[in-house]
Structure 1
Amino acid sequence: MATFLYRLGQLAFRKRRWVALMWVAILAATAFAAVRAPAAPDDGFAMPGTESQKAFDLLDQRFPSGNSEGADARLVFVAPDGQKITATRYKEAIDEAVTAVADGGQVATALDPFDVHAVSKDDSTAYSSISYAEKAEDLTDATKKTLTDAADDAREAGLTVEIGGSALGVAPEFGGTTEIIGVAIAAVVLVITFGSLVAAGLPLLTALLSIGVGVAGIVAVGLSTTTTTLALMLGLAVGIDYALFIVSRYSAERTAGHSPAEAAARAAGTAGSAVVFAGLTVVIALAGLSVVGVPTLTKMGLAAAATVVIAVLIAVTLVPAVLGFAPKAVLSRKVRTALRGGDGQGAGASGPRRPRGTEPTPTTKPDTSAAKPNMGTRWARFVVGRPLPVLLLGIVGLGILAVPTLDLRLGLPGDEAQPTSTTQRRAYDNLAEGFGPGFNGPLTVVVDAKGAQDPKAAVATVAEKLAATDGVVSVSPAMFNKSGDTAIISATPSTGPSEEGTKDLVHTLREERAGLKADTGATMLVTGTTAVNIDVSQKLTDALVPYLAVVVSLAFLLLMIVFRSVLVPLKAALGFLLSVAASFGVIVAIFQWGWLAGLVGVEQTGPVMSMMPIFLIGVVFGLAMDYEVFLVTRMREAYIHGESTGQAVVTGFRHSARVVVAAAVIMIAVFAGFIGSGESLIKMMGVGLSTAVFFDAFVVRMTIVPAVLALLGDKAWWMPRRLAKIVPNVDVEGEALGQGQPGQALPGHLDEQGREAVHV
């Protein structure tokens, strides 16, 4: 692997103009294809195999015109304290508001609350249900303005008016300001890390190119824009990381005295090998999302995996090419000064003209042996000197943080999770106060009476059974389809949509299905938004262990090939599980228990978003294995060149700690930007991702890992002989580079023009 990538980097350095033109052409081609591609269909969020999805499919068949996917809205009217909503002036104001909305564009129906008895028992609250012929994202600004103007007019009559539903809702945005701030922070960190504006700009340029080609490709193949969310986040993350590691290795090789061409080729052969295998671990984590069985997650995972592959290809081809355009500009002032000192030629020295983009190989390598130990070296020596206390402290600390995970509750929060500053949240609260907490989460019961002898009698029996069930406060009249063989009944729970009581009620109703089937011949299915959320949470929870098993197992095998060790991959996997558990503990403590909720800006505690475990594991696993590969490959490289395990750990930190820290800080800054969002779900993602990266990079990879390696000693790199014969030796560390017989041209030495020099 190292030899192949060495030659690829060498070729890219030589043919840098062609390589740059190739990637520009690829970007232009994918962008052109994306512009010309037809609009992608809205895939929705289907959950195959769940009861709620089966009920929706049945509704599509039996109620072809009544199961609209258009947007909806609720105008919620609340009378002043001590007054009734039924007062004449309030009724007139409400009638005018409903009429104004009904006369607007894109409206299918607008119901008067007094005609459909949508008034609370104490006459304090009323609501108007509005349905639209178009989806929420297709509503025009004029339509939305008509709705808000009607609410404003009713407020002038003294009413409190709020707007709920999906009409004014905006899908959470992951792009825009957050990414801009993240890129700005990344630029500052990169400048500090490299001491060169060019070196800082190179990872940003390649990362933007990666997500540009990736997102354009996603749109070009006809996938919906929702699949780009994960691709954007990870494309930015790994695009910066991969270029960062290769440029850093190039700088180290130049410091060691190699020519620009040789340094670029060696960086591609060594750091590039680590990039390839780190990328493969990320791809495994993302492709593994297909195990969950959710089509949307599968598409998101595969699209993001393709973007990561593009980032790897750009890192091992375009980065060496760009280094050829700016061989000295990417170096810090300190390195350039050291190289000039060993150049062997003064400023006015004469000699043959060198080709552009190259420098003479220094006759004397810069002396770095007496260099002052950097912070990474000092930290590694500290850990190696006292590995057991450091290991125990790290494990116990993360273990304590992980304790709240035992109380993890999953769900899909709705408007109750919105900030109180939003009209949707206030509408939710007003309805809950006026009609009861379960009013915001009614259950839709679909009765399939096609096999019953008397469909109407069967539906009536089901309705009676529903009304008699503990936890149900009201049941609506049954609505039949044209054939009269299927009915819809709405059951209102006594508890809120995200409460455990509602989940228990759904399970209770479904357990009664067998008895009702035997008594009436009709089949009862429970669905609706609340039931869908419960089913989604359950399915994602059930898929969590298989997903972890598949991803961790495949990554274990891959890392075993990379490090030719059994214990190093095992330690990597266990460390990842520990950091993720600690991150979930922080999420539960903040978003469920309310600890430090005010500091983070959480206004309402509740269950953790159902997708959070799968999503966080997929993203963080990829980044964690990146840090593992880049840090430990440097250690193994030093080990196979004769250093003891303890000294190899110190050497690995001396060369890699700075760039791993920089990569982690960049990712933490990008993800922490989400914490400032007003959306609770995005805020939760920001907290989860930023804390997980922090724990994994600084506690696991840079503390627990060196401590474990120091304790294991040479056993860390042990592999059974029989297994060693089976596992291929991919030479990620570049052991073969520089080895050869006298008079034989092998990878390891390039002259100033990038040609292989004879090894002597």
Structure 2
Amino acid sequence: MVPAALGLIGTRVDRVRLRRRPVAEGTGGRAGGNRYAALVARCPRAFLAAGLALLAVCAVPMLSLRLGHVDAGADRPGSSTRTAYDWIAAADGPGFGKGANGPVVTVVDLSGARAPADRIAADVAEALTATHGIAAFTPVRPSPDGRILVTTLTPATGPQDAATGTVAAQADFRATIGERLPLVVGIVLVLAFLLLLAVFRSLVIPLKAVVLNLLTTAASYGVLVAVFQWGWGDALLGLSEPVPIESYVPMMMFAIVFGLSMDYEIFLLSRIAEAWHRTGDNRLAVGEGLSATARVISAAAFIMTAVFLSFTASPTVVVKMLALGLAISVIVDATVVRLVLVPAAMFLMGRANWWIPRRLDRILPHLSA
């Protein structure tokens, strides 16, 4: 539709002019990009080390990642959901305590039990009474068919607290996400590796892309943990308290960010590959591709970052979480990765960037970027 629309509009597309005519990519307007590319080429090790150090620092908080569920206790103060939550959690007056917002139904399976149900119920009640962190529990009663014992626990801490046991549905969901996330990430990375391998006829380039994408993801997860879980951005984002990372947010972030990062990767590498096939000079090709695409990648990243950050104004904490995580991912990927780590690594590796075994080259399909 875009080329069709441009064909219909014709030269009238330039009727509304900017104050200064924009400079095309192929003209001398790349002087700034050329100077930056030359700077990276002069000291690629320093740029590579600085970029990796920055990503490592951002990724460190990820080691404390705690998946969970963000409940009404994190809603905006004064909202109806937060007011109801606070009334229930109040320790005095009409409230029932913090744990009343996260009761835990406990079931005891009596199949195969040798002791009488009432004796087991008494033992369970005694054990619960002696368990730290339980504020109260209902009487341990058998089901009508006598096959199970049931009681409802009221934790002493709120549902978002790490010390509170999550209900079965949340625990199962979190466990499923934890099991599936490595599989999803692995499948996506393998497919991306194979696609880049076929497009650029290189083993090093797709391997580098996979590694750098993992570093970007780790850095964005680390920032999320620092801001939401550690509470470093409570005031700026309007959060009333630190919260765990919503269970499905990491998987959604990876899927979205990977698509965006591959756009930038293909855009940059295709220009580098064109120059490489034309000149056979790796240094010249990397510098030419970087200078030609740096401004475009930066502008595209700025637009996406502005879009994502606008959603941090949402009153919903999970929306804030996704918005900030995606914005940080785009910023890191378009600046530290695409404009620092990728060119620095390619300058260092030289002609090895384009190495591929001949047998593998013959069996791969020929695609074009």
Same fold (TM over 0.5): yes
Q: Distance in 2 between matches of 1:630 and 1:457?
A: 70
Report SS of the residue matched to 1:326: helix
How far off its partner does 1:480 sit?
5.7
Distance 1:485 1:649, change over 3 A: same
Report SS of the residue matched to 2:211: helix
Deviations 1:253-282 (A, max 9, x none): xxxxxxxxxxxxxxxxxxxxxxxxxxxxxx
Among 169, 186, 206, the residue aligned to 1:549: 186
1:569 maps to which residue?
A: 206
How far off its partner does 1:612 sit?
1.8
1:596 maps to which residue?
A: 233
Report SS of the residue matched to 2:182: helix
Q: Distance in 2 between matches of 1:373 and 1:475?
A: 71
Q: Distance in 1 between matches of 2:339 and 2:290?
A: 8
Structure 2 residue 74 is the aligned partner of structure 1 residue 413: no
Among 136, 140, 145, the residue aligned to 1:474: 136
Task: Give the conservation status (yes or no) of the 8 Å contact 1:408–1:608.
Answer: yes
Task: Give the conservation status (yes or no) of the 8 Å contact 2:75–2:239.
Answer: no
Structure 1 residues 51-130: aligned runs within 5 Å: none
- Name the amino acid aligned to 1:397: L
Structure 2 residue 347 is the aligned partner of structure 1 residue 686: no
Report SS of the residue matched to 1:535: helix
Distance 1:378 1:421, change over 3 A: farther
Q: Distance in 1 between matches of 2:15 and 2:57?
A: 42
Higher relative contact order, chain-length normalized (CA < 8 Å, sep 6+): 2
How far off its partner does 1:671 sit?
0.8
1:246 maps to which residue?
A: none
Deviations 1:63-108 (A, max 9, x none): xxxxxxxxxxxxxxxxxxxxxxxxxxxxxxxxxxxxxxxxxxxxxx
Task: Give the conservation status (yes or no) of the 8 Å contact 1:672–1:687.
Answer: yes
Q: Distance in 2 between matches of 1:693 and 1:719?
A: 30
Distance 1:405 1:332, change over 3 A: farther
2:102 maps to which residue?
A: 441
Report SS of the residue matched to 2:90: helix
**Highest CA radius of gyration, 1 or 2?**
1
Structure 1 length-normalised TM = 0.44
How far off its partner does 1:703 sit?
1.5
Distance 1:370 1:621, change over 3 A: closer
- Name the amino acid aligned to 1:704: L
Q: Distance in 1 between matches of 2:256 and 2:242?
A: 24
1:175 maps to which residue?
A: none
Greater share of helix: 2
How far off its partner does 1:542 sit?
3.1
Report SS of the residue matched to 1:497: coil
Q: Distance in 2 between matches of 1:595 and 1:731?
A: 45
Structure 2 length-normalised TM = 0.87
How far off its partner does 1:605 sit?
0.6
How far off its partner does 1:699 sit?
1.0
Among 132, 157, 160, the residue aligned to 1:495: 157
How far off its partner does 1:692 sit?
0.6
Deviations 1:169-215 (A, max 9, x none): xxxxxxxxxxxxxxxxxxxxxxxxxxxxxxxxxxxxxxxxxxxxxxx
Among 13, 24, 34, the residue aligned to 1:377: 34
- Name the amino acid aligned to 1:721: R
Structure 2 residue 86 is the aligned partner of structure 1 residue 424: no
How far off its partner does 1:557 sit?
1.2
Q: Distance in 1 between matches of 2:143 and 2:246?
A: 35
Task: Give the conservation status (yes or no) of the 8 Å contact 2:117–2:142.
Answer: no
Q: Distance in 1 between matches of 2:120 and 2:183?
A: 41
Report SS of the residue matched to 1:641: helix
Distance 1:566 1:428, change over 3 A: same
Count, aligned residues: 361
Distance 1:378 1:600, change over 3 A: farther
**Structure 1 spans left out of the alignment, 5+ residues:** 1-317, 339-366, 504-528, 733-760
Q: Distance in 1 between matches of 2:36 and 2:193?
A: 27
CA RMSD across the alignment: 2.9
Structure 2 residue 2 is the aligned partner of structure 1 residue 319: yes
How far off its partner does 1:464 sit?
4.5
- Name the amino acid aligned to 1:488: V
How far off its partner does 1:678 sit?
1.6
Structure 2 residue 328 is the aligned partner of structure 1 residue 328: no
2:312 maps to which residue?
A: 675
